[in-house]
Structure 1
Amino acid sequence: MSTDLGLEYTRSVARGLSVLGCFSERRPVMTISTVAAESGLTRATARRILHTLVQLGFVAADGDHFRLTPRVLSIGHSYLSSLALPELAHPWMDRLVG
């Protein structure tokens, strides 16, 4: 990550979001090693972040495997609930027309 991001940049927040971004439809369940490899973080850093996310309820642990919980939807819900219906529908309408 660049060091020219300014004083307002918090690397730990960026790393946490990077870990959340590793999970996908293709990879809904991951190990610490896989998250570390996907995010470019050290295994120790990935482990600390995953365990923090478990404590906060955004990730669930099952042995050595981790998966997102429905709580991650709360992040997107805040954004979606602020949009008006036309703003929400516009991208889908473009797909239907295009």
Structure 2
Amino acid sequence: MQTHDVLDELWAVICERAENPSENSYVSSILTHRKGVDKALEKVGEEAVEFILAAKNQVRERTVSEGADLLFHFLVALRASDIDIDEVLSELAGRRR
């Protein structure tokens, strides 16, 4: 599976959970939390710190794992903020020179 396929699939699942919340879904629990978008942002902050520490300590396996966690929670926070990933990707594409 290609990298962009994984991101597309993950984004589709996040959006599906947002539109059809489920009690058993971790994504739904974040998106429907009483704190609103703040819960998703807390998770991004938490995962960012864990990623930074792993990278700083040069623990490759942990850095990869925490990087995946950070990317996942970033995507959930985008959805919680009602921002489509295509907007972010378009912004990145516009910055290429």
Same fold (TM over 0.5): no
Q: TM-score, normalised by structure 2?
A: 0.26
Which structure has the highest helix share of the two?
2
Q: Say which one has the larger Rg.
A: 1
